[in-house]
A and B are shown apart, each in its own frame.
Chain A
């Protein structure tokens, strides 16, 4: 229990050393030295008494105690470092709230789909950054730069393959996550806003797939993009103007790839990152739902209260 540094210590954890009525930060209210967490102070005095054999402890207890003291010493440096940051940013309560919040009874493997989607997005982001170091977004050079990545760059084909298959994996995970949320009824009160943010995220994911698809500029990319832009053009009145905006003109021209590249690299990932942040905040704040087949066992007085 003493392994956790002061600011991250659980508020109502099972810390036996907190015998002196510490507050939430593990600090002793009446401690003369505010830098040293009160719990550590108390235990140190007790340990020294034991080590010095004052309480008549045997060799075994002394060895165990020495191990604990080494552990304490080892965690003291990171504890001080984290304490330093916490004192200057006030992030302790936030980090504690996020890491040690309770997930309801019955949380199972279905609930990992959300973070798996985010992980797939991070994988795409990282592989995307490496691809962007070699890719040239122009109609003449795009294809040859991709060939260069495939053939000459170290691990180029692997990174490009990871990016391409990562897109498939991300779409699959996002849809599975959406399905899980739907069937568990996790879009109902009070999580309606979270669902809306999630649907916008699905849409942005498909937009990433669409804009990224053009960048290798092979036959499949070109024609799939032509059809996608013309689908936009089919809307009455504003459709053709929207298609002009996407294409950068009436025909597929010099700036079309640049536009799609800017969308794919800058605008849409930025929106996705911001919305993932909002989505996670709501998840931490509202809590994840319990599986719908679990019913809370109501205490008898609670049931009486309801009637």
Chain B
């Protein structure tokens, strides 16, 4: 903004301010009502949902699935999405710090004197895009489940197979539903459509590296191995 634009803004602002109402009591009334509403919401949520306290901190656990609070889900999902190890420090501190610096220096980056959202399309579109991205990452983060549970509806006769699949480490490399990891193996949510049971059995016994072979399971516990194959064949 050059000096002329600044002066013009100040003049317009002076006019609009003169046409306004005093802070006390008009704005104070609105602020007070909003404050009462906020307090009401806080008390309502506290009364309805209470303050949960999980089990005591246990550093020796091997079954717990750590998750942050919901307002950090977007960062959490960013860490899940960036898989190459060389890029880890980008996801942890690179991208968030960069975005923070952009946010901090926003008044110096955006020098357009226009204020109306429709007259500053770049700013408005960027703002909406950032909000949508953060919202999407937050939702995805909320849905990301533990790698030892499969959360898909299953018919009762395949429940045994589902629990074998969940505890055999498949979710370490495959996605089934919302749980599991998106690599290095392909998504298995609809594997039953692509492969029939005999083909699934063959892959489990003789996989391509780095997938481990489940021949050991088929020899030690053939019933569980069968249940696993049957369950995977139903995933459509």
Contact = CB atoms under 8 A, between A and B. Distances in A.
Contacts of B116: 185, 292-293
A222 interface: yes
Contacts of A166: 42
Contacts of B93: 231-232, 234-235, 239
A289 B72 CA distance: 31
A38 B30 CA distance: 34
B103 A143 contact: no
Given A112-B30, A219-B56, A105 B19 contact: yes
Given A185-B114, A293-B116, A116 B56 contact: no
Contact of B50 (A161, A184, A306): A161
Interface in B1-16: 1, 6, 8-13, 15-16
Contacts of B58: 219, 222
Given A120-B42, A165-B45, A219-B58, A103 B21 contact: yes
B69 interface: yes
Given A158-B47, A162-B43, A173-B38, A219 B54 contact: yes
Contacts of B156: none
Contacts of B18: 102
B54 A171 contact: no
A290 B13 contact: yes
A87 interface: no
Given A123-B42, A161-B47, A98 B23 contact: yes
Interface size class of B (residues with CB under 8 A): 35 or more
Contacts of A226: 66
A189 B1 contact: yes
A104 B39 contact: no
Interface in B41-90: 41-43, 45-47, 49-51, 53-59, 61, 64, 66-72, 88-89
Interface in A80-127: 98-107, 109, 111-113, 115-116, 119-120, 123
Given A101-B22, A219-B64, A297-B15, A234 B92 contact: yes
Given A157-B51, A234-B89, A162 B15 contact: no
A102 B33 CA distance: 19
Nearest to A8: B24
B35 A116 contact: yes
Nearest to A149: B51
B31 interface: yes
A73 interface: no
Given A123-B39, A165-B45, A287-B17, A189 B31 contact: no
A160 interface: yes
A209 B75 CA distance: 14
Nearest to A10: B22
A219 B46 contact: no
Interface string B114-131: 111100100110010001
Interface stretch (A20-28, A39-47, A195-203, A258-266): A195-203
A232 B45 CA distance: 33
A168 interface: yes
Contacts of A306: 8
Interface string A152-193: 000001101111111111010100000100111111111110
A60 interface: no
A158 B9 CA distance: 49
Contact of A109 (B19, B34, B108): B34
Given A123-B42, A169-B41, A217 B115 contact: no
B53 A218 contact: yes
Contacts of A203: 100
A62 interface: no
A209 B71 contact: yes
Contacts of B49: 161, 165
A1 interface: no
B46 A158 contact: yes
A199 B58 CA distance: 36
A233 B38 CA distance: 37
Given A105-B19, A112-B33, A209-B69, 9 more contacts: A101-B22, A116-B31, A157-B51, A179-B131, A183-B124, A235-B93, A292-B117, A296-B11, A302-B11
Interface of B: 1, 6, 8-13, 15-24, 26-28, 30-31, 33-35, 37-39, 41-43, 45-47, 49-51, 53-59, 61, 64, 66-72, 88-89, 92-93, 100, 103-104, 106-108, 110, 113-117, 120, 123-124, 127, 131
